[in-house]
Chain A
């Protein structure tokens, strides 16, 4: 089985060692360095999620990815996610096809309808239309990926008639995923349109998504499509010890969830809920390299997934803390997960504490 391991960022605004927020510009330059360092650490993929806020000042991740592409040779680069609903699919395709050209075929896209919704008012879209916007635009994006002239007609953008959309890709379509939160209908849509499935799991037991993984494969069969990979995107933070990782991450996590809770419907985290989410059954990958590696291996198996993207960072962490996280993830977590996954399942289970 081929596994790939990535890192995702939302351009989480860094602080300096005294807790003072760095500028948006410095945070963006730091993300660039983090992407380059991720390749050096042996990470397979680096993704940037589109956001438009003071604490996630990252609306044009493709520009940052292009800068990383110019300084790297192997790492794959992509959106995580691009909010397709409030963008023009032709432009999104053109930007990532350009990134694909710059990077010599290393581009990917993960598309989302936007669980963060600040881009809708910013670009003049009505949130009540999000379902129709995403359905139409994802369909068009699927057509654009095939290459060749596109004919398309819908309600959400101007029609296309045998339109040649450039730049053409050199080696066929680049990998394209749809990011899904908790809706089974979104899982079926990804299969129907022929996208790979990225499960965004940010709370609760990851194992409950196993049914979604099976739903995806069964839906692919139903739509006569070949099997496609399932990936997992989850937040976390790796440090030398469990205690240090939790001490660094907890106040940042609490603050950001408290900030977005009113619009996302999240409960304000308590130390008790944080302990549960960072424990063996929760969705947060916060801890030492061994703790995080065990959890990734267990959940990839449970979900039949072959890709794991750790959403690293949190507004208020320092660039140094993020670089340490990247180093430990690349040098220790990824090799350890590969080792765990290469062992027969029975043997591995017997080594797991508490199982």
Chain B
């Protein structure tokens, strides 16, 4: 697969701008969109996400190789799945009832699997969801830095997983590939790595210990 270098970030709340800034710094071309008029986020983009282009969601997605979903999960239910057909989609959202309430469509299994079930024309990869937005930027490190941390990347499409592992690496984290989307449940709220910012060995140990506790 040719290098995927054009990103559309959907969401200009907490996580969206952070992911957009990291991607810009890593050399990606980044458009950012909300459900509304790009004019509404023009000032935010100029001052908080310099280098990104505010666009209508449909335009941002149409020109993107990778689409990052950084919107509240309940708003995802309003999104037209057809918009994302043929795209590699990074699901950076979380189903987190303790923080955002119960959402019936997400009560039965891994949230990214349910997202993927709705986005039948897309290759969904779960990533960048398990480190808090307030830490994601501060903890990014270049590849040779001993203090580098790990980010899980889970998906059913190996080519898409490879592309997102590349994205994670370029923005400053060691990617941990999980070769099926279902395995991404370990990245969810309540899972062994959620909310912690772990080095690669710590991340792998946390997953092993979690697997033991399940048996």
Where the two chains meet, the residues of A that have a C-beta atom closer than 8 Å to any C-beta of B are: 117, 120, 126-128, 130-131, 181-185, 187-188, 203-205, 208, 211-212, 214-215, 218-219, 222, 261-268
Query: Within 8 Å CB of A208, what residues of B?
Result: 137-138
- CB pair B101–A128 under 8 Å, yes or no, is yes
Please report the C-alpha to C-alpha distance between residue A263 and residue B43 in the assembled complex, in whole angstroms. Answer: 31
- Provide the B68-109 mask, 1 if CB < 8 A to any CB of A, else 0: 000010100000000000000000000010111101000000
Nearest-neighbour CB distance to chain A for B53, whole angstroms, equals 16
B158 within 8 A of A: no
A267-B98 contact given A185-B44, A205-B138, A218-B47, CB 8 Å threshold = no
Name the contact of B48 in the complex, choosing from A117, A131, A203, A212 (C-beta under 8 A): A212
Contact A181 B14 (CB under 8 A): yes
**What chain A residues lie within 8 Å of B34 (beta carbons)?**
185
| Chain A residues with CB under 8 A of B101 | 120, 126-128
One of B128-136, B166-174, B176-184 at the interface: B128-136
Residues of B within 8 A of A212 (CB): 48
Q: For B134, what are the chain A residues with a Cβ–Cβ distance below 8 Å?
A: 182, 203-204
Q: Which residues from A are CB-within-8-Å of B133?
A: 182
User: Closest residue to A281 on the B side, CB-wise?
Assistant: B138
Taking CB atoms, residues of chain B closer than 8 Å to A211 are 47-48
Q: Are B14 and A267 in contact (CB under 8 A)?
A: no
Check: B17 CB closer than 8 A to any chain A CB: yes
Assess the A185–B13 pair: CB atoms within 8 A. Answer: yes
Main secondary structure of the interface of A (DSSP, over half): helix
Query: How far in angstroms is the closest Cβ of chain A from B98?
Result: 4
| 5 A–B contacts from the bound complex (CB under 8 Å) | A182-B133, A185-B34, A211-B48, A214-B47, A268-B195
Chain B interface mostly: loop
Pair A215/B99 contact, Cβ less than 8 Å? no
Kindly list chain A residues whose C-beta atoms are within 8 Å of the C-beta of B48: 184, 211-212, 215
Does A261 contact B195, Cβ atoms closer than 8 Å?
yes
B43 x A267 contact (CB < 8 A): no
| Interfacial chain A residues near B100, Cβ < 8 Å | 117, 127-128, 130
B197 CB–A CB distance under 8 Å: yes
Q: Report whether A265 and B44 are in contact in the complex, using a CB–CB cutoff of 8 Å.
A: no
B contact residues around A222 at 8 Å (CB): 43
Q: Interface residue tally of chain B, by bracket?
A: 20 to 34
Flag if B132 contacts A266 (CB, 8 Å): yes
Chain B residues with CB below 8 A from A182, complex form: 14, 133-134
How distant is A46 from chain B, measured CB to nearest CB, in Å?
A: 27
Q: Is the CB of A263 within 8 A of B99?
A: yes
In the complex, what distance in Å separates the CA atom of A165 from the CA atom of B34? 36
B120 contacts partner chain A, Cβ-Cβ < 8 Å:
no
Give me 10 other A-B pairs in contact (C-beta within 8 A), A127-B100, A211-B48 excluded: A128-B103, A182-B134, A188-B43, A214-B47, A222-B43, A262-B189, A264-B99, A265-B195, A266-B132, A268-B196
Residue of A with least CB distance to B47: A215
B201 at the interface (CB under 8 A from A): no
Instruction: Give the CA-CA distance A203 to B137 in the complex, in Å.
Output: 13
Name which residue of chain A comes closest to B18, CB basis: A182
Closest beta carbon of chain B to A112's beta carbon, Å: 15
A181, A185, A188, A204: the one within 8 Å of B135 (CB): A204
CB distance from A116 to the nearest CB of B (A): 10
A274 and B113 alpha carbons, distance in the complex (Å): 36
How far apart sit A331 and B156, CA to CA, in the bound complex (Å)? 62
* Chain B residues within 8 Å of A120, by CB: 101
A215 lies within 8 A of B43 (CB): yes
Q: Is the CB of B195 within 8 A of A219?
A: no
